[in-house]
Amino acid sequence: MKALFKIGTIVLLAFSYTTSMGQQKKVLRKELLNAVINQKITMVDIKEISMESGQVAPKHLHPCPVVGYVKSGTVIFQVEGEEKVVLNEGDAFYEPKNKKILHFDNASKEKPLRFVAFYLKETDEENIKLIN
């Protein structure tokens, strides 16, 4: 009982200290993406990629899953079998392993596009394969 009282007192004091300091700020977490990856990941290759205004990416696929987010700009994005979507600054995306990416295009004719891609690799797969 004494131990329980001591623990309760310590928790109460710690709470009182942090709230009285007034400097403790909440950590906010905004969910951007929730994707199921069905493979063992042994390596992550992270790239920042830039595309010029109006630039269109060729059709391609990735031998490994790719997750990422748009740092600046707007993207027209389409995975084979899915609807075309528009991604804006701060949006996240998922490109499944070995699935055709029909569009990853800079939607703006005036502004460049910057995004970060995380290539989730099992071994030493290539990052990208261009397709017809």
Report d(CA 20, CA 29) in Å as an integer.
24
CATH class label, 43-130: mainly beta
Q: In the numeric block, which tokens belong to residue 119?
A: 């290539």
Domains of the chain, by residue range, sit at 43-130
Q: Is 69 helix (H, G, I), strand (E, B) or coil?
A: strand
For 41, phi then psi, to 5°, come to -110, 120
Backbone angles phi, psi at 35, to 5 degrees: -130, 140
Along the 132 residues of the chain, how does pLDDT read in single tens digits? 444 444 444 444 444 544 445 578 899 988 888 888 888 999 999 999 999 999 999 999 999 999 999 999 999 999 999 999 999 999 999 999 999 999 999 999 999 999 999 999 999 999 999 998
- Please give the backbone phi and psi of residue 95, each rounded to the nearest 5 degrees, phi first: -115, 110
